[in-house]
Structure 1
Amino acid sequence: MRFSETEKRQLIIFAALAYGITYVLGLLMWYGNSTGADLSVFPNAQMLYPAAGVMMAYLLTRKGDQKVPRIFYVTFLVITVLMILCALGSVFLPQSIQAGQMEMSVWMVLVQVVLILGSIVFWITLLVSGKERREACGLRWRNWKKSVLCMLLFFVLYSLRMGISSALGGQMGEFIQLWALPSTWLYLVTLVLNFFLVVVAFFGEEYGWRYYLQPLLQKRFGLRKGVLLLGVIWGLWHLPLDFFYYTTPDMGVIYVASQIVTCVFIGIFLAYVYMKTRNIWVAVAVHYMNNNLIPMFVGNYSADVLQGQTIAWGDVLASLILNLVIFGWFIFLKPFREKKEA
């Protein structure tokens, strides 16, 4: 099934923002990497671009539609612009402050303020938008029982994946001991509370990828092929971060391959829970857990736990096998078979 003219216009606007801003600022990351700038702001800012692309596409193509939550959309776009300005400032006007024994980028502190205050305003404008507008643009919470079960299922599967990885690395004892530590359970409680204060970032990705682009690609390529294609698209979207943040440029190609593997298989699970519940907030919560459970399992709670990693092709193969076993089989379940593939 082909895209309509309106869908084509919306897709162009979405791609221009989600990918255009990402890759243009990727050049800035390349420059910042060469000057030794702190690039920690960039991954936080980048997460907002997909949703910003959807919102701008809807605002420009559905001008007379009273069901579009304009105040909510405009609020999110303002937050996105502020995040971009922080990213620019971190490269062109680098400043740092001393926090105890740690030195922190002023711009990273500002980003955290923008995320927290922005998330508070985000919830307020979402609520005042009204039930009808939230329904029309995929913003309502629905299917409570299925939604909660899907979130719990992800936590179990994520923990299982980390357990298998620990066992293969000869660290099963440390993995078991982790669950006896009070700090583990305190972190999990804190994780739930923090979700509401940083939600804009994770909503930023999922509203773009799962709510908007996934159904569009499934309409054109089929339920399974559309999701697999989305995983590749999502993986390549991380490219500037893969070269200049998560690792060093010399290992960038390997990390891109690893990122695509992760995005394809996590994307299968995210597609499953979204199709199962029709609740975008479940995908947002799962994405949040996927990113924020890492410090607990690796025992490193520092903000830059994902920065400057080392990686080899053997790690990519191990990730492929492990993610295939844990998440790959979801693509054969009922939600992916309910309609005839195109």
Structure 2
Amino acid sequence: MDIANNIEKIREEFPILSRLAYMNSAAHGPTLRRVHDATEQWWAHRMNEAQVENPDALGEAAKMLSCRREELCYVNRVTQGLNMVADMMPLERGDNIVVTDLGYPSNVFVWFPYREKGVEIRRIRHEDGLISTEDFEKAVDDRTKVVSISRVEWTSGLRYDMKALSGVAHEHGAYLVDDSYQAMGPVEIDLHDSGVDFFTAGSEKWMCCPAMTGVFYIREGIWDDFEPSYRYYGNVEEAFASGAPWEKPDHDNHASYLKPLYRDARKHYRGCVSEEFHWGYHAALEYFNELGSASIEKRTAELSQYLIEGLKEQPVKVNTPEEPCERGALVTYNTGSFKKNQEIFDALKKEGIVVAHRYAAGVGGLRVSCHFFNTYEEIDRLLALQKKLL
């Protein structure tokens, strides 16, 4: 879809945009009207005890991510997906895990327990907000078991070349874990082309849904290499092959489940996502697919570039790379003063312009997250108000 030529119709899908210039999707995306409606529809079915099939959200996610549906399962949040990988990884004393100092806390925190087992958490430190493929090549060695990173960094907007990093990891026999919470939605993702081994992303930010829903991906070529540490009886394939096992007279809580789990990603599902979230998440994914990932990325890249050009005319330091292929949709910048940053943040909020104030490893400041529904006029409002305060 041509987003620019349909922007008014698109904005009607987000009720909050009638009163706020909302540019904070990197923290919490504004809820799509159709997400609310789909969730309400599920509750109507539930209250009337209607028997209905859940919509195929995983099928829509697979379409969006260019992977097979069987490579995906639900998670209730990104932290759960990262913990699932950490729990399954066979790490030994002397091994190392490569992360970055710009990564979101969950990307690092899940690996902490392995330190007591003699596993090194090796952090790549940024240089002026940047980390290159060459930095990963220097950090990864034959004792590296995992490279765990965010596809797009949350306080700088830096986007990694995931295909190149997959090559670096795989050359040394390591797995690449892709936290794409800041990427799924605003930028186009092709999981098969990028070669990542594990991927997870949530619903609350750029996907414009409530929290507590997301997807977890495990590459088909490694399905047989990993077994879930969390046992959910609903993943026993044969037990449910012909309906609910407890509806049969020979149901037994032991014998009925002494059978293999699904072979694919479904064996990793923990049964922790409520059905109404399936409905809301499906509505969002279906809408994003209707718009098209390429069209969405084109729009967000144009808006972020427009913002960067405007910021160049003001006395601020832009942390986000200017090259479109090196950044996601979010842009961060700094006045050089925490107090001034906060003053601008408060002034914008007072005028109904919603952004964020974030830092990691000394990189950050004000963060503006322009999604496909935002406009050049909203950016102009932000820049004009900020100019008066600088």
Could you tell me the TM-score, scaled by structure 2's length?
0.25
The structure number with the bigger radius of gyration is 2
Of Structure 1 and Structure 2, the greater helix share is in 1
Of Structure 1 and Structure 2, the greater strand share is in 2
Could you tell me the TM-score, scaled by structure 1's length?
0.27
